[in-house]
Copies of this chain bind each other. A is one copy, B any other.
Amino acid sequence: MSQYRTFTAQDAVEYAKQFGGLDNPSSLVEAQEVGDGNLNLVFKIFDAEGVSRIIVKQALPYVRCVGESWPLTLDRARLEAQTLVEHYQHSPQHTVKIHHFDPELAVMVMEDLSSHKIWRGELISGAYYPQASRQLGEYLAHTLFHTSDFYLHPHAKKAQVAKYINPEMCEITEDLFFNDPYQIHERNNYPAELEADVAALRNDDRLKVAVASLKHRFFSQAEALLHGDIHSGSIFVADGSLKAIDAEFGYYGPIGFDIGTAIGNLLLNFCGLPGHLGIRDAAAAREQRLTDIQELWNTFAERFQALAREKTRDAALSAPGYASEFLKKVWTDAIGFCGTELIRRSVGLSHVADIDTIADEAMRHECLRHAITLGKALIVIADRIDSAEELVARVRQYS
């Protein structure tokens, strides 16, 4: 049994030699820590030619940005590795490959994706990957369908629910998405100029009832093994390729949460674009985002329904028409969760570069305000938006 210790770069190299599954492990010579997250060490392991060959990721026992004062379970490394391994089984094209993981060291060795770039950065710079949204829809359909009650034997499903119970990481979501922005909390983070907008969130009873309902669904509806944090910063893209990473929030939850998080991050980019590009380029990029959202949902829904037709094993859930009926529920959930993502990324602890890197302060505030307004509207009218096309119409209405 390997006892937990924080890896040095040299530890990471040795570990990668041993567990990286490379033909020529001795070619690995050095490591560079590249983690930009707050929870983990991420080492790129290079060979003698300076080529990055493999990744070693280790969970830290605390939240890095806050320091060691916010301890966080190392078990999330197990949950992340198991979620990615499970998702890889169902969507190998769009899930990072895990070569090895050790629950004691809270470490995993995985595929190097240096040929790819983080989608969020590309979206901000205006680089368009026209296939990405459809591939994300495929990833979500395959991973969520195959871990759902449509496909799994009820005994296997229940065992999976137990295996993926993830109290500490879920608690972060429960707090940051559904509590903090709707109350005065020291974790909240927004410019003083937005105080009136944020106070309006706290004083909107109808909004708070809708948010409570979303939190309750997040708490209680074990529909599929979610990624749990599928935003554009946990997605790598390249020409014709998309790979999901960073699944430490994986647990059995409502399918609409993954869909809503993904759409929400495309909308956050939509809100921020005028801060990064000229008027015409921003307008064009915004149209791309709206197309992305439609393609993401429509691809997801079509693939999920096709899988349901071909592979549903539950006798009752195979009733003709049920999968599309269920997808209406998923869609309504997704719109609501999308709204909470827009708000928590504008008001809460953790922001997105799509808006936060906007240099012009007035513009940045305008974009934040836009995200809050849009988020609030989506949460409240979620059950009146029937299609991706109608969502797009609503986004235009609030823009």
Contact = CB atoms under 8 A, between A and B. Distances in A.
Interface stretch (A83-91, A235-243, A317-325, A344-352): A317-325
Contact of A155 (B171, B215, B220, B223): B171
Interface stretch (A4-12, A162-170, A264-272, A388-396): A162-170
Contacts of A182: 316
Contact of A317 (B159, B161, B212, B221): B212
Contact of A154 (B205, B219, B317): B219
Interface string A214-230: 01100111110000000
A90 B185 CA distance: 33
6 contacts: A211-B316, A212-B318, A212-B319, A212-B322, A213-B326, A220-B223
Instruction: State the majority secondary structure of interface residues on A.
Output: helix
Contacts of A326: 213, 216
Contacts of A319: 205, 208-209, 211-212
A318 B167 CA distance: 20
A93 interface: no
Given A220-B222, A222-B220, A223-B220, A317 B158 contact: no
A174 interface: yes
A125 interface: no
A66 interface: no
Contacts of A314: 215
B205 A320 contact: yes
Given A154-B219, A158-B166, A216-B326, 10 more contacts: A155-B167, A158-B170, A183-B315, A205-B319, A208-B319, A209-B325, A211-B316, A211-B319, A212-B316, A216-B317
A179 interface: yes
Nearest to A208: B319
A40 B257 CA distance: 42
A166 B211 CA distance: 31
A79 to B, nearest CB: 13
A157 interface: yes
A272 to B, nearest CB: 27
A337 interface: no
A178 interface: yes
Contacts of A318: 212
A80 interface: no
A149 interface: yes
Contact of A149 (B216, B320, B322): B216
A162 B157 CA distance: 12
Contacts of A215: 314, 316-317
A47 B154 CA distance: 45
Contacts of A219: 149, 154, 157
Nearest to A178: B316
Contacts of A158: 165-167, 170
Nearest to A255: B220
Nearest to A157: B219
Q: Which interface residue of A182, A322, A325 has the most chain B CB atoms within 10 A?
A: A322
Which 8 residue pairs are nearest across A and B when measured between Cβ atoms?
A212-B322, A208-B319, A155-B167, A215-B316, A149-B219, A212-B319, A162-B162, A212-B316
Contacts of A183: 315
A212 B321 CA distance: 10
A161 B158 CA distance: 10
Contacts of A166: 158
Nearest to A222: B220
Q: Which interface residue of A155, A167, A220 has the most chain B CB atoms within 10 A?
A: A220
